[in-house]
Amino acid sequence: MAVRRQGPSPLLALPALIFFGVFAIIPLFVALYLSFTKWSGLGSPTWVGFDNWGTLFSTPDTFRSFGLTLLLMGLSWVFQTPISILLGVFLSGHQRYREIFAVIYFVPLLLSSAAIGIAFRNLLDPNFGLFASPGLEWLNLGWLGNPDLAFYAIVFIISWQFIPFHTLLYQGGARQVPQSLYEAAALDGAGRMAQFFSITLPQLRYTIVTSTTLMLIGALTYFDIIFILTQGGPGDATRILPVDMYLTGFVGNQMGLASTIAIVLVLFGMLVSLTISKLSGFTRMESQLDGE
Amino acid sequence: MSRPSWRATAATALAIGVALGTIGCSSDSTGASGSGVSVWTTSGTESVLMTSQEQHNAEEGSVPLDVQVYENDPYKTKLRTAISAGQGPTVFSGWGGGGLAAYVEAGEVESLQAAFDAAPELRDRIFPSVLAGGTIDGEIYGTPYNGVQPVVIYYNENVFADNGVKVPETWDETMDAVAAFKAEGITPFSIGGAGRWPYLMWIAYLTDRIGGPEVFDAVVAGEEGAWEDPAIVTAASMIQDLVEAGGFGDGFSSVDPNQGAPEALVYTGRAAMQLQGAWGYSSAYLSGDPEFVEDGLGWTTFPSVEGGLGDPSNVTGNLSAFFSVSSKADAETKKAATDWLVNGVFDDDYIDGLIGIGAVPPVSGIEDKIAAAPAADWNTFVYKTAQNAGNFQLSWDQAISPEEAEVLLTNLEKLFLLEITPDEFASNMNAAA
């Protein structure tokens, strides 16, 4: 007699699979096809073989966009991670007024990217914005219009938007750390700093991996907020690959070339996420908790 | 037994699949082969179009019109997608020039030449410079239907009077005025650089004043090395001179043009002048500060350039929006659509309607109507400027292909930010052309 299969029927996954197939897999293959064609969005695509790929890898602009994308990934990780860990660990405690701080910190999480973009646009307006007020003029550097500063302004705004989310992850992670570890450390005479570096941080290891993956992959898809703030400008100072893809496809009407950029983004995103999970041992999912 | 049968699961999955499929197919039915004439337009003129639609549909035996109004920015993508999927409207709105040419090349647009030849009184009444925007390879494919919008200089009369500066008529006087206002801490020209397109008006005007319309015509015609014409390089270096002289003030590249900030600088007296399309009058000045419009707002044409070949009466800007007829509609619908475009658009009621909402129709012989309407001074100025223009240059980004326009905007922004030299600007554009 056959072994009776455990758990729910795999057919239950079907609706999700159909949804995923229709809205993710099929468009992906269509984009792959379009990357070998020249198409303005009107009429039928013409097959051009590897022309788009040749164009893409022979223009310096592509490498500049790719470099900016990497820089955005790196900088937003460096900026967001320490702040998110500190806030998350702080909020996982039981201090007085903690809830009030928590509510304040989480506000950006409730706002849509479009709202954040428009709000910062107005805040940073050189004539009518925040820094145009008396006493703050020294900060009025035309943040979004200066090619040397716009990129860093974008990193700050993106971080402002996403730190609350990662704080939430770290708060959850820190709450999972068994209290017994801290008690034992306290008996051994470890201070707060020592406890943070020897217990909290190592215990948050997998949370860091999750958060890092989300941040790095997220950086590959930032589009809305940059589009609203600078449209990739000034010049091409903030034209990261996703913005480049949109402008090429929907403003320049070069759907084939834009699809090529899309495929590059997909491949690179897969590479990044596989590398992180390999390097971190995330796939093995070991636990250091009691009794497991 | 708690496990659901696979049949039930499959049925559910099937139902979801069918639902998804239905969503995919249930796009709106205003297809080209529908029973009426579907008209897609962008917002701005809808009240006039709706009146025209009511009148048209009230006539006995007429094929009904169905006017749909869309927001400006998403419209371009929506129209492109719909037409490419064979779901486009019978009549669609566009901006003429290179955008219209792309649709004509793809065989999506019906020629209106025959209809216009049959109605010479309309054909000859529309300003030739405006009708040229809807003419591709000598044949009319688009007919204008709303107000003409030349780019002009707005200025704050009080700021000029208080500082004893004369309104500049030549480029030298412009640079003198820039120096005078700079010394007083007033921004000479306000510009919404964050939107990139305001930069276009400067390069377009200067190129025309220096080298005449032929220079940019060569670019549109795709002639080899057209961007490296000395007139364009000179115009680019004059722009950089103006930037270096503080002509646009600090931080101009961060100013958002879409929420009235550049105009606010003028009516609050923090900037003296603005180069802007005629749309700025009602959309920003009148709505921002109606009192200022009464007694402080002045306007004039773009200054001449000493020794330049271009006629100082030449203007650049938005000609009008254009209606075109889809080639995919059936013959009867096409005929009804063309009849409406020739007889309904720009009939007396339609023209009165346009003037009533502050738009200036590009048709001759309506001076008296404009003079009798509100804001007569302003509208007469716009009307005369457009009518007397030796050449009316369609905005550069509309005149060339979308691919080239995107490169142009990026390079123009770098030019204004002094990141590239005028020669680099010209050679970058040549490489993209």
What does the DSSP assignment read for B314-349?
-EEEE---EEEEETTS-HHHHHHHHHIIIIITTSHH
Residues from chain B that touch A157, judged by Cβ atoms under 8 A, are: none
pLDDT for A220: 86
Question: Does a cis peptide bond (omega within 30 degrees of 0) precede residue A234?
Answer: yes
Give percent above pLDDT 70 in chain B: 92
Q: What is the pLDDT of residues B174-208, one digit of tens each?
A: 999 999 999 999 999 999 998 889 999 999 999 99
In the stretch 196-225 of chain B, residues with CB closer than 8 A to chain A read 196
Q: Which residues pair with B65 in a beta bridge?
A: B37
User: Three-class SS of residue B276?
Assistant: strand
Inter-chain contact A11–B83, Cβ cutoff 8 Å? no
pLDDT for B21: 40
pLDDT for B432: 84
Q: What is the pLDDT of residues A174-189, one digit of tens each?
A: 998 888 888 898 888 8
pLDDT for B2: 41
B423 and B286 both lie in a single domain: yes
Q: In whole angstroms, what is the distance from residue B245 CA to residue B266 CA?
A: 19
Q: In whole angstroms, what is the distance from residue A64 CA to residue A240 CA?
A: 8
Nearest to A250 among B6, B77, B83 (CB): B77
Inter-chain contact A145–B254, Cβ cutoff 8 Å? yes
Q: Please, are residues A60 and A239 in contact by the beta-carbon 8 Å criterion?
A: no
> Is B97 part of any domain?
yes
Inter-chain contact A42–B419, Cβ cutoff 8 Å? no
B286 and B374 both lie in a single domain: no
Q: In the predicted model, what is the mean pLDDT of residues B429-433?
A: 87
With cut-offs at 50, 70 and 90, classify the pLDDT of residue A104: confident
B218 and B287 both lie in a single domain: yes
Query: Bigger pLDDT: A290 or B381?
Result: B381
B380 and B249 both lie in a single domain: no
B144 and B167 both lie in a single domain: no
Q: In the predicted model, what is the mean pLDDT of residues B65-81?
A: 86
With cut-offs at 50, 70 and 90, classify the pLDDT of residue A72: very high
Residues from chain A that touch B10, judged by Cβ atoms under 8 A, are: 11, 14
Residue B11 clears pLDDT 70, i.e. is over it: no
* Total number of domains constituting chain B: 2
In the stretch 67-106 of chain B, residues with CB closer than 8 A to chain A read 77, 80-81, 83-84, 102-103, 106
Residues from chain B that touch A121, judged by Cβ atoms under 8 A, are: 194, 256
pLDDT for B45: 83
pLDDT for B260: 85
> Is B19 part of any domain?
no
pLDDT for A284: 63
User: Three-class SS of residue B409?
Assistant: helix
Q: What is the pLDDT of residues B17-27, one digit of tens each?
A: 444 443 433 33
Name the residue range of residue B52's domain.
Answer: 37-148+319-392
Side-chain-side CA neighbours of B3 within 13 Å: the count stands at 11
- By DSSP bridging, strand B322-326 and strand B271-277 are unpaired
Nearest to A126 among B107, B254, B402 (CB): B254
- Cβ-Cβ contacts under 8 Å for A209 (sequence gap 6 or more): A276, A277, A280, A282
Residue A161 clears pLDDT 50, i.e. is over it: yes
Inter-chain contact A254–B196, Cβ cutoff 8 Å? no
The structure's pTM equals: 0.83
Residues from chain A that touch B402, judged by Cβ atoms under 8 A, are: 40, 251-253
In the stretch 242-301 of chain B, residues with CB closer than 8 A to chain A read 250-256, 259, 261, 264-265, 270
> Is B155 part of any domain?
yes
> Is B11 part of any domain?
no
B118 and B239 both lie in a single domain: no
Q: What is the pLDDT of residues B253-267, one digit of tens each?
A: 988 888 788 999 999
B158 and B204 both lie in a single domain: yes
> Is B6 part of any domain?
no
Residues from chain A that touch B108, judged by Cβ atoms under 8 A, are: 42
Inter-chain contact B103–A231, Cβ cutoff 8 Å? no
Inter-chain contact B410–A15, Cβ cutoff 8 Å? no
Give the residue among B404, B408, B433, B406 at the shortest CA–CA distance from B420.
B408
Inter-chain contact A144–B194, Cβ cutoff 8 Å? yes
Helices (H) and strands (E) in chain A, counts: 14, 2
Side-chain-side CA neighbours of A251 within 13 Å: the count stands at 18
pLDDT for A288: 55
Residue B96 clears pLDDT 70, i.e. is over it: yes
With cut-offs at 50, 70 and 90, classify the pLDDT of residue A3: low
> Is B271 part of any domain?
yes
Q: Which residue of A has its CA nearest to B13?
A: A15
B255 and B371 both lie in a single domain: no
Q: What does each C-alpha distance from B167 to A31, B158, B272 come to in angstroms?
A: 55, 11, 10
Q: What is the pLDDT of residues B362-413, one digit of tens each?
A: 999 898 999 988 888 999 999 999 999 888 999 998 888 888 888 999 999 9
Average pLDDT along chain B: 87
B243 and B358 both lie in a single domain: no
What is the CATH classification number for the domain harbouring B308? 3.40.190.10
Residues from chain B that touch A244, judged by Cβ atoms under 8 A, are: none
Inter-chain contact A42–B80, Cβ cutoff 8 Å? yes
B297 and B428 both lie in a single domain: yes
Q: In the predicted model, what is the mean pLDDT of residues A87-93?
A: 88
Alpha carbon of B336: minimum distance to chain A alpha carbons (Å): 25
Show the domains of chain A with their CATH numbers: 48-283 (1.10.3720.10)
pLDDT for B16: 44
Average pLDDT along chain A: 87
> Is B351 part of any domain?
yes
Q: Which residue of A has its CA nearest to B413?
A: A235
B271 and B365 both lie in a single domain: no
Q: Please, are residues B188 and B178 in contact by the beta-carbon 8 Å criterion?
A: yes
Residue B360 clears pLDDT 70, i.e. is over it: yes
Residues from chain B that touch A128, judged by Cβ atoms under 8 A, are: 261, 264
pLDDT for A129: 84
B312 and B327 both lie in a single domain: no
Q: What does each C-alpha distance from A105 to A87, A102, A109, A154, A166 come to in angstroms?
A: 9, 5, 9, 19, 11
> Is B4 part of any domain?
no
Q: What is the pLDDT of residues B319-351, one digit of tens each?
A: 888 999 999 888 889 999 999 999 889 888 899
In the stretch 384-413 of chain B, residues with CB closer than 8 A to chain A read 401-403, 405-407, 410, 413
Alpha carbon of A126: minimum distance to chain B alpha carbons (Å): 6
With cut-offs at 50, 70 and 90, classify the pLDDT of residue A59: confident
pLDDT for B18: 41
In the stretch 20-59 of chain B, residues with CB closer than 8 A to chain A read 20
Inter-chain contact A127–B264, Cβ cutoff 8 Å? yes
Inter-chain contact B254–A43, Cβ cutoff 8 Å? no
With cut-offs at 50, 70 and 90, classify the pLDDT of residue A262: very high
Residues from chain A that touch B246, judged by Cβ atoms under 8 A, are: none
Q: Which residue of B has its CA nearest to A21?
A: B17
Most confident of A249-253, A256-260, B373-377: A256-260
Most confident of A69-78, A129-138, A202-211: A69-78
Q: What is the pLDDT of residues B107-159, one digit of tens each?
A: 899 999 999 999 888 889 999 889 988 999 899 999 999 899 999 999 999 99
Q: In the predicted model, what is the mean pLDDT of residues A100-119?
A: 88
Inter-chain contact B254–A144, Cβ cutoff 8 Å? yes
pLDDT for B319: 87
Tracing tokens 């390999």 back to the chain, one arrives at: A278
